[in-house]
Every structure is written in C-alpha cells, then in structure tokens.
C-alpha cells in the first residue's frame, strides 16, 4: 500500500486510532494513520490504565462489557498481554450517603438487566482491601475489571496493525481536508493523501476536523493529572475508586502506586502543554492518606497530565458524520476511554465495512450537538 492511496485515513494515533487500524486490517481494509506527534503521545499513553466497567454511564455499559471480553483475551488480539491484570475494581463508600448512592445504582442496574456491579458490605470490603481505613462502610465491586499498561497497550495495537500491513505516519500534521468526487483529500505536512473513508480519532483536537466538516462540537481539552510513588511493599490488588470525592488508586505489579481521579491540570492546547495544579494534587494526597494509612510514608516520584477531550455530557462521539459522506468519528472519551479502545476500533471497522454496528451506539451520535455554535 502506498501512503498516497489508502482506503481509509485515520487522523490520530491514540489507542482508538490504532484499534480502528487493527480491526480494519482484520477486515481486509487498507488504512493509514496520521499522527502529528508519535503514537500514544497524549491521553492514550499516559492515563491510569483502568479497564473499568464500574460506574459507567448507562449508555456506555454495553460497549464496556463487550470491551471487557476483548480485554480478557487481549493477547489473542494483539500478541501481547498489555500488562492486563484483573483483580477487580471497587468504588468505596466512606459514609451513609455514599452507601445509599451506590446501593441505588446497583438497584438501577439490576432493573436494567445488569449484574456486573455488586454491593459489598464492610466485612468483605476489608477482606479484599485490608489496607483501607476502617471508617469505610462498604463498596460497589466489578469483579472482572482491572488495569493495563496504557503506553504498552497502544504500542501493541499499533505493532499488530503494522504487522498486518497498515501504515503509520508520525510527526505529520493534517493541514486541511476536502472532498473531490467520491474521495477525500487530506493535505498534510508530509504531502497530500487520498482515501475513500476518513476517520476522526484526533482526541483533544477532533473539533477542528468537525468544524471543517460543518458540524462543530462543544469539545473541551482537559488534562487529568496523575501521581506515582516510589515502589512500596505490596498492599493492594483491586483498583479503588472514590464515591464522594475524586480518586482512582492502584498499585502496579512493580509496587509503585498510581493516584488519579480526574483532578485537572491547566492545558494549553495550542502549545500541547500542561501545567500541574499543586493545590489539586495536594487534595489528592490528603484523600489517599485518609483512605490508606500505609500511604503516609509513601514518597511521590513524579506527576504528569495528558491532554484529552471532554464533551459536555461526559460521553464520547462515536459514529458517522452528520454532514459528510464516508466520515466516521471516535473522540471525546472524557477521561474514561482507555477500556473502550478495543471495542470502539471494532465498531468503527464495522461501520466502514457493513454500515452498521451490532452494539447500540445511537447515544454517541454527533447529531446530539446539532446547532452548536462554533467558538
């Protein structure tokens, strides 16, 4: 395949772009991925790596459960286990109000036919997380959830896609797109590309593609912050999430502890830089100290933030363009897109090759933003 004549051009080399390329290759469709930096540079390579069905928006649950099945066989898909471990995820209740909210959610999901989230009382909670502070009263658990290594995962999807013949152009910026006849022409810093189908996986920069297509969206670039400690003796297996206050907390196989939860840095999207907010990081540290007394002796090694896209309703845009033929979107995952990567790539490939997806994606249509006025 030549760089100038792919069937599909995918803009964006994050996990969703790499996954789309891989699933298209498995369907026999030639694809070329254009990435302005390098694969996994922003959100896909630096997130917490949560493989989470727990606490999902109801619209996302069918996709998250389908993705989880792929995660449990990820080596068969990409020839790499991606560092995936399945020790479960637990959303902790610190008080009666938290407990009521979690039990109401469990009842709501059961009414919808879902059983993947289960309330556990304090005795089971402390058996599963013995290091947790004894003021906690219970939690909601998703037993098959877990975590993986984000950059390793993104690289594995890219490597498998390349092995199947797909092309990746890194350090290449998209300068413009236009329709010529039945084809799309993509002007880039490395030359002009032509293709039959265009896929927008541009993450925090996806709204520029949408604007060029005449369908502006209210996308916000955010920079969720992470902290990591030096190695500590093993004290935690499940991933622990907060309920009344933001927290994502896990210990890696190497013993380091990752602390996240959605606290945001300051983002300069034009310069592609982030500036850590140390007051917010201090609040994260206080939460961790209160929930895990063992962490009072922990040493923070470093902090960082990756730039990604958030939509006003906190769910992504997945599906065809509302204004342009042969264009498909997959962006706006609002700080919880990593687990969905394997299945969103498959959905994108299905839409391109068959015109439909077996999974319910109507809630993610870009049409819900019709009439949005561009900034």
Strand partners, 121: 138
* Percent residues over pLDDT 90 in the chain: 94
| Closest to 86 measured CA to CA, from 97, 104, 73, 103 | 73
What average pLDDT does the segment 194-214 reach? Answer: 97
Domain boundaries, the chain: 8-49+151-216+313-369, 89-143+224-305
| 324 vs 44, more confident | 324
User: Per-residue pLDDT for 3 more than 60?
Assistant: no
| 334 vs 45, more confident | 334
| Closest to 329 measured CA to CA, from 10, 64, 40 | 10
User: Per-residue pLDDT for 352 more than 70?
Assistant: yes
Q: How far is it, in rounded angstroms, from Cα 161 to Cα 362? A: 28
What is the CATH code for 8-49+151-216+313-369?
A: 3.50.50.60
User: Per-residue pLDDT for 4 more than 60?
Assistant: no
Angle between helices 341-354 and 15-26 (to 10 degrees): 50
Residue 45 is predicted with a pLDDT of 87
SS3 per-residue string spanning 134-149: CCCCEEEEECCCEECC
> 263 CB contacts (<8 Å, ≥6 apart)?
224, 225, 246, 277, 280, 281, 283, 284
Interior angle at CA 151, CA 171 and CA 3, nearest 5:
35
**Band of the pLDDT at 240, cuts 50, 70, 90?**
very high
| Closest to 121 measured CA to CA, from 111, 106, 86, 109 | 106
CB 39 within 8 A of CB 13: yes
> 341 CB contacts (<8 Å, ≥6 apart)?
15, 16, 18, 19, 44, 67, 153, 157
Q: How do 31-34 and 8-11 pair as beta strands?
A: parallel
> 278 CB contacts (<8 Å, ≥6 apart)?
none
What is the CATH code for 89-143+224-305?
A: 3.30.9.10
Average pLDDT, the chain: 96
CB 32 within 8 A of CB 25: no
Which is it for the CA torsion 258, 260, 265, 267, positive or negative? Answer: positive
Q: Give me the residue label for tokens 């219970």.
A: 138
In eight-state DSSP terms, residue 230 is P
Token output for 281: 């990081």
For the entire predicted model, the pTM comes to 0.95
pLDDT digits (tens, 9 = 90+) for 148-157: 999 999 999 9
Residue 375 is predicted with a pLDDT of 61
Residue 320 is predicted with a pLDDT of 98
Residue 1 is predicted with a pLDDT of 42
| Closest to 340 measured CA to CA, from 365, 307, 315 | 315
């Amino acid at each position: 395949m030549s760089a100038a004549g792919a069937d599909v051009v995918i803009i964006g080399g994050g996990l969703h772009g790499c996954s789309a390329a891989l699933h298209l290759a498995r369907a026999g469709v030639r694809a070329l991925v254009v990435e302005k930096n390098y694969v996994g540079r922003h959100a896909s390579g630096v997130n917490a790596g949560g493989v989470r069905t727990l606490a999902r928006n109801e619209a996302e649950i069918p996709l998250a459960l389908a993705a989880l099945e792929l995660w449990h066989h990820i080596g068969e898909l990409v020839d790499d286990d991606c560092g995936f471990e399945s020790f479960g995820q637990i959303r902790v209740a610190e008080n009666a109000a938290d407990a009521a909210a979690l039990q109401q959610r469990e009842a709501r999901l059961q009414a919808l036919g879902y059983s993947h989230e289960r309330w556990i009382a304090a005795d089971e909670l402390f058996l599963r997380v013995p290091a947790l502070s004894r003021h906690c009263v219970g939690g909601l658990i998703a037993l098959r959830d877990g975590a993986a290594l984000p950059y390793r995962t993104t690289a594995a999807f890219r490597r498998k896609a390349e092995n199947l013949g797909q092309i990746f152009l890194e350090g290449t910026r998209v300068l413009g797109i236009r329709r010529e006849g039945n084809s799309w022409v993509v002007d880039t810093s490395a030359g002009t590309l032509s293709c039959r189908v265009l896929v927008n996986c541009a993450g925090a920069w996806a709204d520029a593609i949408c604007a060029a297509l005449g369908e502006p969206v209210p996308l916000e670039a955010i920079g969720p912050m992470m902290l990591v400690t030096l190695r500590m003796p093993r004290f935690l297996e499940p991933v622990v999430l907060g309920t009344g206050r933001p927290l994502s907390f896990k210990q890696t196989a190497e013993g380091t502890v990752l602390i996240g939860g959605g606290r945001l840095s300051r983002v300069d999207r034009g310069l592609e830089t982030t500036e850590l907010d140390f007051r917010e990081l201090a609040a994260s540290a206080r939460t961790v100290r209160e929930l895990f007394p063992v962490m009072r002796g922990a040493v923070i090694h470093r902090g960082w933030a990756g730039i990604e896209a958030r939509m006003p309703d906190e769910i992504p845009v997945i599906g065809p363009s509302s204004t342009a033929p042969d264009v498909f979107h997959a962006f706006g995952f609002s700080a919880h897109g990593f687990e969905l990567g394997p299945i969103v790539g498959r959905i994108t490939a299905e839409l391109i090759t068959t015109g439909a997806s077996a999974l319910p994606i109507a809630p993610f249509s870009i049409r819900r933003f019709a009439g949005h006025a561009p900034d």
